[in-house]
Amino acid sequence: MKKFLVLGILFALPITAYLFFASGKNNFAKLPVLTENVKDIKKFDTNTDSIISFKEHISVVAFFGSDLEKIKGNTFNLDKKILEKYYDFNDFQFVIILPKEARAETEEYVKEFKKISESSKWKIAYGDPAEVQEVFKSFKTPHKLNSDNYTPFVFIVDKDANLRGRDDEDEGKLYGYDSGSVAELNNKMNDDVKVILAEYRLALKRNNRDLEE
């Protein structure tokens, strides 16, 4: 009985993973690269004192400014609708880029969110306001940061530090996803995160097959 149970699990897991990733409307189509080679943040200070880099990670990137009290709803939406589904993927990371003056407030903010989220897995990078602006401008989006270095839009950056998005039927090129809109997170961003994770897993399988041959 145990033998059949183990075989059933081994058979079911790949199918479950396939159905999970294939459930997006894009069905394994690659997400378009909208901006190549965005500026990396490996020289920024971090909340863990370890280096944070876009390279070799699939990153969801947020610029949430210095007034964190205002964006609790956005962060909650993002965490519950997108992030908590993907925290266990080793090559996935959630990066919040903030001005340095927000550091003290951020530590309390993360502690507070631990009660309802996986905030211990958030990666937070701190830079001078001018440095934050420079990174944001390298994304080359139609969006802007306000005077607090904040935007509600969050972005998908691939392992080569390219900004990914979609050719959206409603808005044209979709560079970022509005973290204040549950519908946009559910219907568009979730789909696109699935697609890019599936894209890399298919590429990894092909590479492994080529090595075996």
pLDDT tens digits, residue range 90-100? 889 999 999 99
Number of domains in the chain: 1
In this prediction the pTM is: 0.83
CATH number for 84 = 3.40.30.10
Q: Are 122 and 110 in contact (CB under 8 A)?
A: yes
- How many residues are given for the chain? 213
Task: Tell me how crowded residue 121 is: count the other CB atoms within 10 A of its CB.
Answer: 14
pLDDT in tens, 102-126: 998 888 888 888 888 888 889 999 9
Classify the C-alpha dihedral 59-205-12-1 as positive or negative: negative
Q: Are 139 and 155 in contact (CB under 8 A)?
A: yes
Query: Residue 13 is part of which domain span?
Result: 2-212
